[in-house]
Structure 1
Amino acid sequence: MAAMFSLFLVLITLGSGLIWLLDHFYLAPKRQEKLAFADGQTEGELPEEAKEKLVAEPWLVETSKSIFPVIAFVTILRSFLWEPFQIPSGSMMPTLLVGDFILVNKHEYGLRDPVFRHKFWDNELPSRGDVVVFKYPEDPRVDYIKRVIGLPGDKVVYRNKELFIQPKCEAGVEKCPELQRVNTAKVNSGQFKQDGTPLLRLKEDLLGVNHDTLINPRRGEPLRYYYQQPGRTTGEWVVPENHYFVMGDNRDNSTDGRFWGFVPEENLVGKATAIWISFEFERGADSILPGWIPTGVRFNRVGGIQ
């Protein structure tokens, strides 16, 4: 859907721009020639109404000239600077909630054209702990949002709901990093629930990046569904070059890299940087309002994303 909307914006921008140029350099001069010819064939001066009719812009030209500056600005802003996204699921709770509207920095990881996504300008690379929007590797038409856990060359292990990371061994170093357990500390329990089960909220220290996660203490670890990397045991992955390993903060309610593998660098859309508005959609069973109508605004959630 996002890709189709980008294509639509580009086509509307190009179409309205070409019509404006055609009118400026060809159609408008032709209308002036018709006015001059009619004026020369008439004794005295043409009535103002006749002049206005001869030089009047066609509807398509008038509309194109009106929308081109606006649509061009929106296309540039959305394609290369910032793009709004809505959080549709709870896979990134407690960091992001359903109803959060976020801003994604499109130039953080370089710039790509909005249609074919060819990269034409390099910038930064994702860092561990970044919350990123990317094209779902198994269906690039769909945008996903997760947190970067493993960088290229890292070893990631997730067993018994504990996370371990061994950073990439850089060439030329005398001693490679060891496999490190990602430390966690309990924040609370019961603030969030899944199918009636209180979720355990943990503060996670992702090798220097602190953020909160959720764990369902009653749900088993679905090892049989994990992505099996050739030559590795279940629940263990080594991130290939130019790829990233991502997970949702709501660890037991997230379809992420544990189940389908790695995110190629070319699939990155941008870095989620801020929540610009957040709507509540909670309502009672007897509510007559459609589900898409918000029931409130969570102003306390507006701000940066940790």
Structure 2
Amino acid sequence: MNFDFALILVLATFVTGVLWLLDMLVFVPRRRLRLAEAELKAGGALPEEARKQLIQPSGWADLSRSMFPVLGLVLLLRSFLYEPFQIPSGSMLPTLQVGDYILVNKYHYGLRLPVLNTKFLPLDEPQRGDVVVFKYPEQPSINYIKRVVGLPGDVVTYSDKVVYINGEAQSQSLLAQLPPLSPERLLVKETLGEAEHEIYRDIGRPTLNAQWTVPAGHYFVMGDNRDNSNDSRYWGFVPDELLVGKAVAVWMHWSELLSLPDFGAVRSIK
């Protein structure tokens, strides 16, 4: 089962906020009135301990007053600034490793309403070579991470494991054969527009030769582990409304639950 954490966070913030407001507007005045009546009957100020008991909020009111500011701050940070994600698969190797924890800039491509993901303040547009997180078009409850290859209006051709944009081959240069003595994959430096990054190409895997025209408001994305990535070559384009943000940095690597987190893996994402 896939839990929508954003929805849960919004609901939790809303409920604690309503309970806190209800306590402030209704129950705090009642407690103060009860204290005033008790002091009137006593003919003066009550002992401090008795005063505390009379104005002490109930458990739900105290919890909502404590939790609402925390949940509200987390909601603001997560919705409009940065959101953490964990890399679960090897589709972005060698750029991102399984177990990398990344930060995604949520405002780079414009501010969006939480849960609805509706953009209300447009800012920058995705550029060729950006690493982006988006909601998987065939199952929006799942987040995917890939590299932007084709922009709206581009004609993207994939032939013999080389990307062509509007008929122009995007340069590739061999960096290494892995393993060196009996190579199974190639480590290649690829240039997409002005963005340089490394990709893997499996020697024994057959190539997919095809061509696509990217519609307006959509993007063509691919994984850096080219022969082991479920991406736009197989399921189509990413509409702008499903973009989550731009992946900007790795802040930790934690491959296994029983292993120690590696903060030496901190790096920017290119």
For the criterion TM > 0.5, the same-fold answer is: yes
1:53 is the counterpart of 2:28: no
Gap regions ≥5 residues in structure 1: 167-178, 224-233, 282-291
1:247 is the counterpart of 2:222: yes
Contact residue 111 and residue 120 of structure 1 kept, 8 A: yes
Distance 2:269 2:44 in 1: 71
CA shift for structure 1 position 198: 2.9
Distance 1:247 1:45 in 2: 73
Q: Write out per-residue CA displacement over residues 233-279 of structure 1, whole angstroms, 9 at most, x where no aligned residue.
A: x6100000000000000000000000001000000000000111112
Q: Write out per-residue CA displacement over residues 4-31 of structure 1, whole angstroms, 9 at most, x where no aligned residue.
A: 1101111111111122222222211110
1:83 alignment partner, SS class: strand
Match of 2:176 among 181, 188, 194: 188
Q: Which amino acid aligns with 1:239?
A: V
Q: Which amino acid aligns with 2:178?
A: G
Distance 2:152 2:225 in 1: 23
Distance 2:203 2:5 in 1: 40
Where does residue 276 of structure 1 map in the other structure?
A: 251
Q: Which amino acid aligns with 2:21?
A: L
CA shift for structure 1 position 298: 6.0
1:214 is the counterpart of 2:200: yes
Where does residue 15 of structure 1 map in the other structure?
A: 15
Q: Which moved more, 1:1-10 or 1:113-122?
A: 1-10
Where does residue 100 of structure 1 map in the other structure?
A: 100
Gap regions ≥5 residues in structure 2: none
Q: Write out per-residue CA displacement over residues 164-213 of structure 1, whole angstroms, 9 at most, x where no aligned residue.
A: 111xxxxxxxxxxxx11111111112269xxx973210001112211000
1:198 is the counterpart of 2:184: yes
Distance 1:22 1:296 in 2: 43
Where does residue 294 of structure 1 map in the other structure?
A: 259
Where does residue 74 of structure 1 map in the other structure?
A: 74
1:68 alignment partner, SS class: helix
Distance 1:187 1:208 in 2: 19
Distance 1:59 1:132 in 2: 43
- Alpha carbons of 1:197 and 1:61: their partners in 2 closer, same or farther (altered >3 Å)? farther
Match of 1:259 among 194, 216, 234: 234
Distance 1:118 1:98 in 2: 30
1:185 alignment partner, SS class: strand
TM-score, normalised relative to structure 2: 0.94
- Alpha carbons of 1:125 and 1:44: their partners in 2 closer, same or farther (altered >3 Å)? closer
Aligned-residue RMSD, C-alpha: 1.9
Distance 2:189 2:127 in 1: 19
Q: Write out per-residue CA displacement over residues 147-175 of structure 1, whole angstroms, 9 at most, x where no aligned residue.
A: 00000000001122121111xxxxxxxxx
Divergent runs of 4+, >4 A: none
Give aligned pairs, total. 269
